[in-house]
Structures are given as C-alpha cells and as structure tokens.
Amino acid sequence: MSDYAWLIPALPALSAALIFATGRQWPRKGAEIGIATIAIALLLSVGVAIEVFSNNVDAAAAAHGEESETALAVPVADAAEQPAEEGGAAEAHGGGAFVKEAGFTLATFGEDASFEAGMRVDGLTAMMFLLVTFVSLMVQVYSTGYMHGDPRYTYFFGLLSVFTASMLLLVIANNLMLVLVGWELVGICSFLLIGFWWEEKENQDAAIKAFITTKLGDVGLIVGVITLFGMFGTFNIGEIFTAVEAGDYSQSLLTFGLVALFIGAIGKSAQFPLHTWLPDAMAGPTPVSALIHAATMVTAGVFLVARLYPLYQTSDVAMTVIAVIGAVTLFVAGLLALVQDDVKKVLAYSTISQLGYMVAALAFSYTAGIFHLFTHGFFKALLFLGAGSLIHAVHSNNMSDMGGLRKAMPITFWTFLIGSLALAAIPPLAGFWSKDEILAGALGGGGATGTLVLVLGSLGGLITAFYMTRVLWLVFAGEYRGHGHPHESPPAMAVPLIVLAVPAALIGFINIPTDALHSVGFAAWTMFSLEYFEGHPAEFNVVLATVTTLLALGGIALGTALYRRLPERDPMLQMGPLTTLLVRKYYLDDLYSDVIARGLVRGTLARWAYWTNDHVLDRIVYLAGAAAVSLGRLTYRYADQRGIDGVIHGLAGGANVLGRDLLRKVQSGNVQLYAGALFVGVFVLAIAFVAG
C-alpha cells in the first residue's frame, strides 16, 4: 500500500485541476469532486497507516522482547540506507522503523546534487496523512453547508483541494527542496483563503500580514536548507541522516542551520514573536481557520522539526531555543486568549498556545510533540467548526452577541463542550493524554529548560481551562443577546461536528502509557527508529497527572465562578494595566507597525536609506550616467559622425558622383559608341596577345 502513497497528494491535486477547469458545470458546483477525492485519499491513508504502523509495532515488540543492545542500536540511518525495497527495509533488518523512499530526479546540478520528486513514507508521514485527509474531508463536507450560496463557492473548493495537495506534498517529501515547495504552496493557499472575502480591506490586510510575517520566517527556512545542503551536498533527508550518523560534520554549522530552520517554523507555526499573524488570519472563512490555521498548516513548523528530529537531537543549543520559544509562546498566547471577545480569536490564541506546547514538547520528546499535534488537530478542528456553526447562526463573531445558545443549538453545544474539555486536558479526553505526555517529557528532561516548560505548561493548562470555560458560559449560558432567532446548523455542518467529536474524545487512548500497551501505541506507530522509541519514553507520572488535572479543574471552577452569572463587566477587562497589556497584545503589533515599520523602517532607516540613496547611490549612478553621456557625445561627434559616417558618406558620395556624373555618360544608348568601345577593347586585347 505504501507504494501508492504518492497518490494521496496526487488525488487532491487532480481534484483541484478538475474543479478549476470544470467545477461550475457539476451539479454541486465542484464540491463533490473535492470530497470524493479526499475520501479516497483518506482510505489510502488508512491503508498506508495500517501497513506502516503494524510494521513498526512488530519491530518495537521484537525489540522490547529481546531487550538486547543490538536491537536498540539499529539506527535510523540503517533503515534509510535501503530505501524503496519490497516490503520496506525494516523487515530485512529484523526490526527497525518503517521507511520507504521512492522518487525520480527532476534536475541535476553541480557535481552530484539533484532535485528529486520523491516520497518518504514512515510513521510520521502516515500519521500526518491520517490527520490531514481526515480533517480536510470533514472541513470540505462542512463547507458545503457553511459556504452555501457564496458567489465564489467553486473557487473555494478548488483552493481547499490545492491546499490539501500542498500540505500532503510537504508531508510526503523526501527532500528539503520539496519540503520547501510544499511549504510555500501552503503559504500561498493560506494567503488566498484568508483574503477569500477580499472585498473588505480588513481581510486583505490580514492576508498580507499573514503572508509577510510567515515569509519573514521563511527566510530562516531557506537559509537553513541552504546550510544543510552546503554541509552535506544533498537535499535528501535520509542521506542527511546517514551523513550525521557518520559524524563527519561541523556541529556549530549544523546548529546554525537547525536554528535557521526553526525560525521558519516560528513563522509558520505562529510562535512568539511571529505569532501576530494568526489571530488576524481569522478573517478567512471559518472552515479555512479550522483546516489551515488550526489543524494542518500551522503544524508544518512542528512537523519540520519532527521530520529532522535526529538532527535536532545532536544540538543542545537548538533544543534549548526550541524549548524556550515554545514555553514562552504557550504562556503568552494563553494569556492573550483571556481578553478576547471574538470567539474565533480565543480559539486562535489557544491554537498558538497549543502550538507552543508542541514545540516545547519536541525539545524533550519526539512522541509527545507529534502526539499533541495529532490530538490537537482533531479537537481544535472540532472547536473551530463549532465556532463556525455559532457564527453561522448568529451572524457575528462576538461572544457579546451570543449567549443562551445551548437550547437552540444542542449538537453544536455538546460537540463544542467535548472539544473544550479535550482542549482543557480533562481526562479521559484526547488533550489530557497528549498534554500529560508533554509535561511528563519535560519532567523527565529536567534541567532549567525542563523546569521552565513544566511550570509554564502547567500554568498554561490552568489558563486554557479557564478561557474555554469563559467561552462556554458566555456563549451557551444565560440569555440570547444577539439579533434574530438562532437555529441549529444544517446536517452538512452538524455531521462533521459529531464525527470530529469522536476522535476528540477518544483518540488519546491510542497512547495510553502503560507497560502492557506500550509497544503497540502511538509512540511505536510513529517512531523514527527504535532508538527514539526506546530512548525517550515519557513515563506516566500519577502525581504529575493529578496536579495538572487539578489545575485544569481549578481553571474550570474559577471560570464558572466568574462567569456563571453574566457579569456586568467582564472581569478579564478589569485587571488594570494587565488588561491593557493583553488587549494591546503586548504592544507587539504596535512594535511591529509603529516602531519597526513606521519608526525604524519608515523613519530613521528610511531617512538613512533615502539619504544614502540620494547622496551616495544616486550620485554614483548620476556620475556614471554623466560620464557615459559625455563619452557617448564624444563618440557620437567624432567617431560616429566624423569617422564612421564620414567613411560611409564618402563612399556613397563617391559612388554617386562616379555613377551619376561619369559612368552614366557611357550608357548613352548609342550603338555605335558601344561598338567603338568593343573594337577598342578587341584591339587592346589583340595588342596584348601579340606583345605578350
């Protein structure tokens, strides 16, 4: 099945082409093409996942049973060295992570560097396939209801297909160049979909902000890719792993490259301080927010770090940077979610915060990071789609226009509740298991960064529970404060909510960290190699789990106490300077737009640049220009006009005089003159003949 993994990104790409070409002629305006192809892709993903996961489980069980040094020592590089062998390289080694590589070369350059279109199927790829195709399917079904009647309905579904294809390309790519291609493609789709309702200036601005901010990170990404290419002479991820395994490289250069790559992840995964674009990106249609800005695209940065995890493991510096950025992000973004009135912005800051968890987790445990990525994808997509359902009903994003919707919208309420509890990490819902894994990893990691992540992560859990409780009370309890009569959303929107609620509630059980199930769970499925699986177990810690659960329950209790009866004024807006700080988003936007953009760039920097331009560059250009002009004038006057033209005019004039004034006379038309000339000629020839 994994031989056909390339079909998974190819199908949505085909769908996109079909929708853009013929979508309008189909009875459902192209939506059915997108849904059908992504459904097939989902089935394929399940097939791939079963093959990869079962292989990995067998390998892990074998290694676990033997407990031998040799099995543990099988490095990822061994598996990567034999790509694309029948049945996977892992079985040939009698145990090891599943890796299948295949591809063809698109272009070669340099000595033996090449750009391939190649796939790398392993546990991480299979997991991302499942997440992306499942959420994409749900979102597309949901969109048939949410976007119903939109003038650009077909275009919307086309873009969703393009996005899905690009995301899957990014996931399946076996080389950094292709990763970069997918990365930029999802960025473009994000830009187009945030600005989908471009009639409003605000949405355009949000799209441009998102694009430029992530682009700032992309500079780092490109620098990182180039650095790795310069070090190892290849873009291929497996070959880079092999080279690192061999150990012949400069660690400081590698660290530089990895940090540069992580800057790309900071932009894409909305990490502090480049997170400011994500809340603005909520200007796009809500299904887009669910698919792109919650479940899939924003996890690309986390995915990138996970993909290159063996490299990151070699660098403590990079890991420290990751841990600190992640911890700061999860905390500051969580605080920002407290003061929002727009329900989507609460979820957006929550997403940033959860992405911070994932990033921080990666510093300690590969499994914890991607497990949270996986569970978060489901419950955050559910929450966003639920928010879309609310917005659809009350025609407003603001919680101050909602209230009392529990009775009017029961399906939305119950699914939203499940999503919120999962996000708040209440056992036994999905978020509990993944967040616990993260904190356990941080506890196991120890050190200063471990403590930082542990403390901020635990406090973040309290904040998360609190702001979700606030949302629940403000939206679903009390009296309706909006206009009109809200009603439950149509089945096209309600069914995806119900379907998504199932994994949001239950998906955490795939990684229950007990010894009995240890070898068949998520950690084994997605393991990079036996080393990562065995070397970084996050032991279940009852005390830690109890503490975090109590903190989450405390958050819920606090939220309930404050918001059970709708307060006259939101307590979150009465915290004096803290509220001001949060409402102004730590003044980061002001810093970027006023200080950096307007002040530094447009002010000092612009003045300086203008002066330099005016007095230095322009002067040089002007002098060069003036010199060229006078040189040209001299050339024109003397060389061209007098020299070349003189010769040409002379020749032409000479020919003219010769022809017009002299030779013309010869052509008199007088036969006898011609005959005379003939005789003279013959006479001369005869004399010459005789004399010669």
Partner 1 sequence: MQIQAVYPLVFAALLFCVGVYGVLSRRNAVLVLMSVELMLASVTVNLVAFGRLAAERTGEALLTGQSFALFVLAVGAAEVGVGLAIILLLYRNRASVNIDDADLMKY
Residues that bind partner 1 (CB under 8 A): 664, 667-672, 675-676, 679
- Cβ at position 673, least distance to partner 1 in Å: 9
Minimum CB–partner distance for residue 639 and partner 1 (Å): 38
Kindly tell me which of 65 and 676 has the beta carbon lying closer to partner 1. 676
> Based on CB atoms, which residue is closest to partner 1, 68 or 670?
670
Reduced DSSP (H G I as helix, E B as strand, rest coil) percent helix, strand, coil of the chain, to 5? 75, 5, 20
Tell me: cis bond preceding 151? Omega within 30 of 0 counts.
no
Q: Which is nearer to partner 1, 568 or 661 (CB)?
A: 661
Q: Are 382 and 415 in contact (CB under 8 A)?
A: yes
Residue 626 beta carbon to partner 1: minimum distance, rounded to whole angstroms: 53
In the complex, least distance from residue 654 CB atom to partner 1, rounded to whole angstroms: 19
Minimum CB distance to partner 1 smaller for 219 or for 657: 657
Residue type, 453: V
Taking the least distance from each CB to partner 1, the nearer of 575 and 658 is 658
Nearest distance from C-beta of residue 684 to partner 1, angstroms: 15
Tell me how far apart the 2 most distant CA atoms of the chain are, in Å: 138
Q: Which amino acid is at 535?
A: G
Residues 6+ apart with CB under 8 A from 235: 113, 114, 115, 116, 175, 176, 177, 178, 225, 228, 229
- DSSP assignment of 64-116 equals HHH--HHHHT--HHHHHHSTT-TT-HHHHTTS---EEEEEEEEEEETTTEEEE
Nearer to partner 1, 622 or 679 (CB): 679
Tell me whether residue 514 or residue 672 sits nearer to partner 1 (CB atom).
672
Task: Give the helix/strand (H/E) hosting 683.
Answer: helix 671-691
The distance of closest approach from Cβ of residue 663 to partner 1 in the complex, given in angstroms and rounded to an integer, is 9
List of residues 6+ apart from 45 with CB closer than 8 A: 8, 126, 129, 130, 133, 134
Closest CA to 376 of 341, 329, 327, 425: 425
CB of 665 to partner 1, least distance (A): 8
- Separation of alpha carbons 539 and 439, rounded Å: 10
How many angstroms separate the CA atoms of 100 and 86, rounded? 9
Residue 449, classified by CB atoms within 10 Å of its CB into exposed (0-12), middle (13-18) or buried (19+), is buried
Q: How far is the CB of 637 from partner 1 (least distance, A)?
A: 39
Task: Please say which residue, 575 or 686, places its beta carbon nearer to partner 1.
Answer: 686
Q: Which two tokens stand for residue 318?
A: 């990079």
Cα–Cα distance for residue pair 537/634, rounded to 1 Å: 81
- Amino acid of residue 489: S
Task: Tell me whether residue 626 or residue 682 sits nearer to partner 1 (CB atom).
Answer: 682
Least distance from partner 1 to the Cβ atom of residue 670, Å = 6
